[in-house]
C-alpha cells in the first residue's frame, strides 16, 4: 500500500469512528477515544460497531476489554483487517473495502434535486425512505441534528418525496459517506445526487467510505478507488447485527 493510500485509510477510519460516535451520542451513549481505537462502554445503536480501530496493530485483548461482551451482539470494526478476535469469541461478519474519491463533481449528472434533512420532520421523512418499511427508521433520532459535522442528504423527486440519500460526515481532511440508498435503482441511482450535494457542500474535500459486494462495484463506477480491506467482527454465535 502506498503512503497516500495508508494516509487515506487512516483518515477514512477516523472519519467513520467520528460518525459512529455521533450516532452513539444521539442515543445518549458517550464513547471513549484512545490512540488505537474509539470504543463504547455499552451496546451501541443497531447497525453500529462498539469499537473502531484507528491505527494498525491494536492489541486484541486490550480492545475487547473496553467494550461490553456480556451478551452476544458486540461488534468491532477492524479498520486495517489485521486483528484476530476469534479467541475472544468473535467471528468475521463481513469484509469490505475502504473507498476514496478525489474532490470533484459527479461523473454522471444528477436527475434529482437535493436538500438537507435538517429538522426533525425532514429527518423523519428521510429515515422512513432509508428504512423502506423495515421498522428501523427510529435509529435516526432528532438529537443527531445537533452534531455540527453530520449532514443528512435527501434526494427528492419532482413531487418532493425523499427517494434517495446518504449521510455525510465532515472531518478536517475528508468527508465520509454512509447509508447510501435509493428507493429505485440502488446505489447507481443515489450516487449522482449524493456526490453533487457533497461537492457543493465540501468542494475541496476528498470523499471516503466503505462498501462491499455490488455496492462496491457501483461506487467504483462512480469514480471511487478501493483503498484497502477492513473487517467487521461479531461477538457470539449468530450474525445478528451489521454495522455502519
Question: 114-142: per-residue pLDDT in tens?
Answer: 999 999 999 999 999 999 999 999 999 99
What is the reported pLDDT for 240?
46
Whether the per-residue pLDDT at 4 is higher than 90: the answer is no
Range 36-74 burial, b when 16+ CB lie within 10 A, else e: bbbbbeebbbebbbbbbbbebebebeebbebbebeeebb
pLDDT band at 92 (very low <50, low <70, confident <90, very high): very high
Between the alpha carbon of residue 20 and those of residues 33, 46, 220, the distances in Å are: 12, 11, 24
Q: Is the pLDDT of residue 73 over 50?
A: yes
pLDDT digits (tens, 9 = 90+) for 168-215: 999 999 999 999 999 999 999 999 999 999 999 999 999 999 999 999
pLDDT mean across residues, the chain: 95
Whether residue 239 has pLDDT greater than 60: no
Confidence of residue 242 (pLDDT cuts 50, 70, 90): low
Amino acid at each position: 500500500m502506498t503512503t497516500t493510500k495508508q494516509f487515506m485509510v487512516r483518515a477514512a477510519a477516523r472519519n467513520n469512528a467520528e460518525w459512529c460516535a455521533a450516532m452513539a451520542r444521539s442515543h445518549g451513549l458517550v464513547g471513549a477515544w484512545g490512540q488505537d481505537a474509539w470504543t463504547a462502554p455499552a451496546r451501541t445503536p443497531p447497525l453500529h460497531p462498539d469499537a473502531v480501530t484507528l491505527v494498525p496493530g491494536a492489541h486484541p485483548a486490550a480492545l475487547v476489554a473496553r467494550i461490553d461482551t456480556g451478551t452476544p451482539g458486540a461488534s468491532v470494526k477492524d479498520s486495517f483487517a489485521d486483528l484476530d478476535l476469534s479467541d475472544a469469541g468473535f467471528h468475521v461478519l463481513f469484509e469490505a473495502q475502504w473507498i476514496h474519491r478525489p474532490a470533484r463533481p459527479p461523473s454522471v449528472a444528477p436527475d434529482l434535486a437535493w436538500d438537507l434533512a435538517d429538522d426533525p420532520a425532514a429527518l423523519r421523512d428521510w429515515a422512513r425512505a432509508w428504512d423502506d418499511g423495515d421498522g428501523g427508521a427510529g435509529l435516526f433520532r432528532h438529537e443527531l441534528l445537533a452534531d455540527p459535522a453530520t449532514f443528512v442528504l435527501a434526494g427528492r423527486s419532482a413531487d418532493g418525496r425523499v427517494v434517495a440519500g446518504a449521510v455525510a460526515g465532515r472531518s478536517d481532511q475528508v468527508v465520509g459517506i454512509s447509508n447510501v440508498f435509493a428507493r429505485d435503482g440502488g446505489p447507481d441511482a443515489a450516487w449522482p445526487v449524493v456526490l453533487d450535494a457533497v461537492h457543493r457542500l465540501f468542494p475541496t474535500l476528498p470523499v471516503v467510505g466503505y462498501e462491499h459486494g455490488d455496492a462496491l462495484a457501483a461506487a467504483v463506477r462512480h469514480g471511487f478507488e478501493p483503498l484497502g480491506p477492513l473487517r467487521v467482527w461479531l461477538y457470539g454465535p449468530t450474525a445478528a447485527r451489521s454495522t455502519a
